[in-house]
Structure 1
Amino acid sequence: MSVSEVLLRVVCAFLALLLLTRLMGRKELRQLTFFNFVSGITIGSITADLIASETFSLRNGLTALTAWAALTIVMGFIDIRSQKARQVLEGDPVILIQNGRILKEALQRVRLDVDALKALLRQKNAFSVSEVAFAVLETDGNLSVMKKENQQPAVKQDVHPAAPPKPDYLPTKVISDGVLHQPNLAKLELSEEWVQQQVNQAGFSSISEIFYAELQRDGSLYIDAAQTK
């Protein structure tokens, strides 16, 4: 392969990656889920072959890059429109610490040991497990931490409390895309009748009218209605 051909391949690969990355969206850069990880590795492998392999023609390389990018875009649309597809492609967040207790079964499920968990907690300025009320391992591998109330910075409401404290929950998804999330209902010990009652009190007749709803820390239900076309 001549130097001029290598340079041509490098320029074509660079321009193709720049264009296709813009088309695939910022999610590929913002969060690295299982699907994004596989997609990134595959695109990198195709690009490497396109630049360096003499048996891989420029036309075939650009075709492979375009086809894979198109597949990624299509899967992205499916991910947005289907909750089940999201669970298959990206998985679900996993609660590792709940009410200040480490969930050993959850650690085993995500293949994480206590030392690794403590390292992730330190990155969130939580140097002791005793400071943490909830810790959730997100689908992109990041750890979200909610500290216990006495470990959180004081706010105006703490100085002038408006009402007695209510039961403390981790904000949890209850409805998504007009569908009840049954596993979360079971964990929260909530009934479908209670959710339906809250939906009715908010002025809606059916759960299918709700785009997203989650249980708040104070036990109330946040409701976001689906937009009508």
Structure 2
Amino acid sequence: MKEIFEWDRVLFNEMPVAFLLEVMLRSTVMFTFLLIALRITGKRGVKQLSIFEIVIIISLGSAAGDPMFYEDVGIIPALVVFSTVIALYRSVTWLTGKNTWFEKLIEGKTVCLIHNGRFSITEFAKESLAQDEFFSELRVKSIEHLGQVRNAYLEPSGEVSVFFFKDEDVKYGLPLLPELYNKKSKSISKDGYHACSFCGHTEEHQAGTAICPVCEKDEWVTAINNLRLA
């Protein structure tokens, strides 16, 4: 029968001291795996916290939780996990400050998603970000159409930074309001400015059909400028 405060069991759980090396290896492997997994999920999955911060929280939380509840998990191995994660944290932080390439690898980089009122299709396709979700982010910033937006960036934190055209430079653009955007169609019903519903390219068209010269899609929506239909 086990006794309370049997210190060899409490501290080491009857494991040999050499097992601590295995604990360090396990910690390193899991830390790296978490970092890669969260990096793959994309910026939006860890909005407001950097990927690196999420990894630290998960790693330390797991290390702290198990020895609190399970008697077969010794305190000393858990402390080794803490020490290893903190050492990895300091090492990665030092490397990100010294090496720009490593910093981009760990934290990601700022991506331009809208340029001159039009989607940067290549960059947008790389991000795990749905169009509806992105439209929602822009509407929260009181943006009614892409003609107002000079540039929009997806930051490493997952936040969207927006830079606007001056009032006199605002042009016709793809509407972001659902009641207008959902009227998109392959058939252009009347002459005027229309925006490609896929990339936001805007140009003047006559009634009929047309192919977007930028993305080669054929679905259009009536462009707006300050909520005035074209």
So what's the TM-score if we normalise by structure 1?
Answer: 0.50
Answer 1 or 2: higher relative contact order, Cα 8 Å, separation at least 6. Answer: 2
Higher fraction of helix:
1
So what's the TM-score if we normalise by structure 2?
Answer: 0.49
